[in-house]
């Protein structure tokens, strides 16, 4: 019996597999036939994102009163969706949706006032609006404490000035959660970081160039500029000066989402590769019959299964509210480095064809490289883990 890469796992039940069927139906109808076109054009039409919202794929964790699915404590549904997007190679769209659904929406769900939730969540859950989060800056990178964008109180308004870069969904986002430094001479530390919501039609807000990336060409990444952007205090998200803690508290979910993406991507590429080596022949036999091929496949499948087992444990911890930042860091760096390694080795098994962009393995190779960087680099993840183990600062 051939190995089943998508065999049922104990972590899922009937509801999750029913949801998988719904995701597959969406992908078959709106996505599969358009992936290459979107990559070539460097753009995903908003209609595709909105269709995902209409199918209930964006607001799974949003409370039902705001148009969501009301399933806040079960990340397994998102894990199922991530696996399915990876299965068909819809990497750019998956990143667009993951940023919107797994990274930005939780800030609204957990930090917004009732009025803010009513104002923003229905449109985010439906896909009418797309969201982005603006943390990274040209001079700060992964160092959130190095944020230089400022928000200064002026009467009942805040005036935001600064620049952000590497912002996923930056070109198409309707709402941007902005991390800005809020100076305060009355604060013990002179102020702190605060989160604000900026609508894309605010005067002074502008989108810079759309950044050209190595991979994920259809998914937009942009530079954003804020020049005397005025927003009311009603657009402040969460407590004043407490933004850094709020950002840190949401990182485990973001990093687990990336880890799930890594395992899902490795699974999809391995399945693609096993099919190829069984069909492709060299020196009078299938590539799958060479011992090197067999050893490579055995090693990669084992690594995938071990990785998946840890990620599944992390998903269950997240659902129970027990996933620590350190455990999420372990999952993130290990899964993405494993993903990167597996894709590289699989491309080698394709030989010269693996270098041709007409083969999905080539696109996967380019798309995969960023996963060990965004959401916190592998080096940052290891530093967090080491500090926890060693008790250092």
In this predicted model, what pLDDT tens digit does every residue of 20-70 receive, in sequence order? 999 999 999 999 999 999 999 999 999 999 999 999 999 999 999 999 999
Q: Do 275 and 281 form a contact (C-beta atoms < 8 A)?
A: no
Q: Is the pLDDT of residue 142 over 70?
A: no
Residues 6+ apart with CB under 8 A from 392: 386
Domain residue limits at 370: 245-390
Share of the chain above pLDDT 90, in %: 94
Asked whether residue 257 falls in the same domain as residue 231, the answer is no
Asked whether residue 191 falls in the same domain as residue 250, the answer is no
Residue-wise pLDDT for 71-88, tens only, equals: 989 999 999 999 999 999
Distances (CA, A) of 263 to 31, 100, 132, 374: 21, 20, 24, 16
Tally the domains of the chain: 3
Q: How far apart are CA 307 and CA 299, in angstroms?
A: 12
Choose one of 187, 217, 241: the last residue of a domain: 241
Asked whether residue 191 falls in the same domain as residue 296, the answer is no
CATH number at residue 84: 1.10.540.10
Asked whether residue 237 falls in the same domain as residue 263, the answer is no
Supply the pLDDT for residue 261. Answer: 98
Work out the number of other CB atoms within 10 angstroms of the CB of residue 199: 15
Asked whether residue 186 falls in the same domain as residue 67, the answer is no
CATH number at residue 186: 2.40.110.10
Choose one of 95, 129, 163: the last residue of a domain: 129
Asked whether residue 383 falls in the same domain as residue 290, the answer is yes
If you average pLDDT over residues 278-299, what whole number do you get?
96
The residues pairing with 221 across neighbouring beta strands, listed in sequence order, are 168
Q: How far apart are CA 191 and CA 188, in angstroms?
A: 7
Asked whether residue 208 falls in the same domain as residue 314, the answer is no
Query: How do beta strands 175-183 and 131-134 pair?
Result: parallel
Asked whether residue 164 falls in the same domain as residue 125, the answer is no
Angle among Cα 118, 123, 128 to the nearest 5 degrees reads 170
The residues pairing with 133 across neighbouring beta strands, listed in sequence order, are 177
Q: Do 126 and 54 form a contact (C-beta atoms < 8 A)?
A: yes
What is the set of active-site residues?
Answer: 254
In a domain, 3, yes or no: no
pTM of this prediction exceeds 0.85: yes
């Amino acid at each position: 019996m051939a190995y089943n890469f998508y065999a049922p796992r104990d972590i899922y039940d009937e509801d999750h597999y029913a949801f998988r069927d719904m995701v597959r139906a969406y992908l078959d109808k709106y996505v599969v036939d358009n992936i290459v076109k979107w990559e070539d054009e460097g753009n995903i039409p908003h209609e595709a994102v909105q269709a995902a919202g209409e199918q209930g794929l964006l607001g799974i964790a949003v409370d039902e009163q705001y148009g969501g699915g009301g399933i806040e404590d079960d990340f397994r549904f998102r894990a199922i969706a991530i696996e399915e997007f990876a299965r068909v190679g819809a990497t750019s769209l998956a990143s667009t949706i993951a940023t919107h659904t797994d990274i930005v929406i939780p800030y609204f769900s957990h930090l917004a006032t009732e009025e803010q939730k009513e104002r923003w969540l229905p449109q985010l859950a439906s896909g009418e609006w797309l969201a982005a989060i603006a943390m990274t800056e040209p001079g700060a990178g992964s160092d959130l404490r190095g944020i230089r964008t400022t928000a200064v109180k002026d009467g009942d308004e805040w005036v935001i000035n600064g620049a952000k870069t590497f912002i996923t969904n930056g070109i198409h986002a309707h709402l941007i959660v902005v991390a800005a430094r809020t100076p305060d001479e009355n604060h013990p530390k002179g102020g702190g970081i605060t989160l604000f919501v900026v609508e894309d039609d605010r005067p002074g807000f502008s989108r810079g160039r759309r950044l050209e990336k190595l991979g994920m060409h259809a998914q937009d990444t942009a530079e954003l500029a804020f020049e005397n952007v005025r927003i009311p205090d009603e657009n402040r998200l969460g407590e004043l000066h407490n933004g850094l803690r709020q950002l840190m508290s949401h990182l485990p979910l973001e990093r687990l989402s990336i880890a799930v993406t890594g395992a899902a991507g490795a699974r999809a590429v391995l399945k693609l590769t096993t099919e190829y080596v069984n069909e492709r022949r060299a020196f009078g036999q299938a590539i799958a019959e060479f011992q090197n091929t067999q050893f490579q496949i055995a090693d990669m499948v084992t690594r995938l299964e071990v990785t998946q087992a840890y990620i599944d444990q992390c998903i269950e911890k997240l659902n129970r509210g027990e996933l620590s930042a350190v455990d999420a860091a372990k999952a993130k760096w290990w899964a993405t480095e494993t993903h990167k390694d597996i894709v590289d080795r699989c491309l080698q098994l394709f030989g010269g064809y693996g270098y041709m962009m007409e083969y999905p393995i080539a696109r996967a190779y380019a798309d995969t490289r960023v996963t060990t960087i965004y959401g916190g680099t592998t080096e940052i993840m290891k530093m967090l883990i080491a500090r926890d183990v060693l008790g250092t600062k």
